[in-house]
Structure 1
Amino acid sequence: MATYKKRGYKPKKEKVVKEVEETFDETQSTTAEVFNNLDEAANKSEQWIEKNNKPLFYGLVAIAVVILGYLAYTKYVAEPTERQASNELAYPRNFFDQAGTSAGVVADSLYNLGLEGGDGKYGFVDIADSFSGTKAGNLANYYAGISYLKMKKYSEAIEYLSNFESDDEILGPTALGAIGDAFADINQPKEALEYYEKAANKKDNQFTTPLFLFKAGQVAMELKEYSKAESFFSKIKEKYSTTDQGRDIEKYINGAKYAQ
């Protein structure tokens, strides 16, 4: 029986091997290119570092000097100064506290001692000036401002209270409200209203907020800004009805409403 072979038949193995080889060569080429690029980038980085090693070194030294200088300043200057200022503040605060329970000439004398100091001790004015960058120096501005306000020295009160900065729940709004009081006492109601509003908005609590909303409402009535006054009084009714200002607030709301 005769056998025959198909004409033109060739095994496919050679083609597959060739394709694999071509793919391998391409992949190998791409990988080599990536490594070459990485080597080139590394070489450039090394060259740049070698070229700029002195500026880099001096820059690091400068940063280290700044950090160490700050730490040294904090430990050996700022902290001791803060402690000294705090200790100095105790002397005039004693007179301030005594003045708060006194009246008339006696109270004014005590406030003045607190402001000016004595027996080689600093008063609030000196502490605020000499320790201006400390917490105690900042607090001295508050005590000085309130002292001047109690003594009816309004321009000095406004000056020192304006230099006081605080986010404290009570002291922050109280200082702003005290500036409002000073302007009210020298018959500058527009400025007084401005600071009463600032004081009312500084912090939200049951003590300072309704107090300064009420004062703002009263000054707004004086300025014949009745709708604004009504909004102040209404806010007290809505949010602070149980406070001293909230108990009879309805009559103030009606007063502002029917004055319009």
Structure 2
Amino acid sequence: MANLNEQKGTMNDALNQKEAVFLRHKKTISIAIVAIILVVAGIICYETYVSGPKEQEASTALAKGQEYFSNQQYDKALKGDGAGYVGFVNIASDYSSTDAGNLANLYAGLCYANLDKWNDAVTYLDKFSPADDQMISPSAVAALGNAYAHVKQLDKAVEYLKKAASMADSEAADNTNNSISPIFLLQAGEILESQGKKSEALQIYQDIKTKYLNSAVSQDIDKYIERVSVK
């Protein structure tokens, strides 16, 4: 079985190249999946990946798909290569009772996002079952929020981005995750702005300023506050 530790960073390159374009207003907002740069590093927390034959089999299949994913061969990663690897879609279906099968849903959703097939991205990201962790699950939920933004379900987009921030905070020291929560909230605020909901966006921006003082996002938050405060 491939060493899961060796997979660190391989998803990073593919995700960091992708930035979501909020289609309704042609306004670029950073896609939440870039915040999953620590997903693979966090996989080692799923100790049950090696707890049984079926789980081990699924994890081995997943590793081959991850290789295609890291090489940006998203179609092969999704649907298989005709040479033994069956694809994330089939792994998710065939091993639905395993943690590796669950993670295959996340990978499939990210593949579809990279292929700009946002309805399919929504379908698979929604199938991923979050756990109680500080990075992987919140980032997956935020990715779903961004996917909803692309299919113009803006209220759901805001809902899931805010949920992702809350999830990340709940597992962090002092209930404050300065790394990813303010990123998700900033995205939610931008979407609210695009809907003309300036007062709701203002509240989010003010929360970022007061709660996430040590985050990079807070350093520039005043310009967002000023923008929505203009009458």
Normalised by the length of structure 1, the TM-score is 0.63
* 1:114 partnered with 2:77: yes
Using the TM superposition, give the Cα deviation of residue 191 of structure 1 relative to its aligned residue in structure 2, in angstroms: 2.0
Describe the SS at the equivalent of 1:203.
Answer: helix
Normalised by the length of structure 2, the TM-score is 0.71
Give the AA of the match of 1:189: L
Describe the SS at the equivalent of 1:247.
Answer: helix
Aligned to 2:11: none
Using the TM superposition, give the Cα deviation of residue 98 of structure 1 relative to its aligned residue in structure 2, in angstroms: 1.9
Aligned to 1:223: 195
* 1:171 partnered with 2:143: no
Give the AA of the match of 2:75: N
Bigger drift between 176-185 and 238-247 goes to 238-247
Matched ranges for 1:1-260 at <5 A: 79-99=52-72, 110-118=73-81, 119-167=83-131, 168-204=133-169, 205-259=177-231
State the distance in 1 between where 2:219 and 2:122 align: 31
- What CA deviation, in whole Å up to 9, does each residue of 1:156-184 have, x standing for no partner? 11111111012221121111111121122
8 Å CA contact retained: 1:217, 1:229: yes
- What CA deviation, in whole Å up to 9, does each residue of 1:60-88 have, x standing for no partner? xxxxxxxxxxxxxxxxxx82111111111
Give the AA of the match of 2:114: K
RMSD: 1.4
Using the TM superposition, give the Cα deviation of residue 219 of structure 1 relative to its aligned residue in structure 2, in angstroms: 0.8
Aligned to 1:37: none
Describe the SS at the equivalent of 1:89.
Answer: helix
Describe the SS at the equivalent of 1:248.
Answer: helix
Q: Give the unaligned 5+ runs of structure 1.
A: 1-77, 100-109
State the distance in 1 between where 2:130 and 2:155 align: 24
Give the AA of the match of 1:256: V
Q: Give the unaligned 5+ runs of structure 2.
A: 1-50, 170-176
Describe the SS at the equivalent of 2:86.
Answer: coil
8 Å CA contact retained: 1:182, 1:192: yes
State the distance in 1 between where 2:68 and 2:214 align: 35
Describe the SS at the equivalent of 1:144.
Answer: helix
- Count of aligned positions: 172
Greater relative CO, 1 or 2 (CA 8 Å, sep 6+):
2
Describe the SS at the equivalent of 2:84.
Answer: coil
Describe the SS at the equivalent of 2:230.
Answer: helix
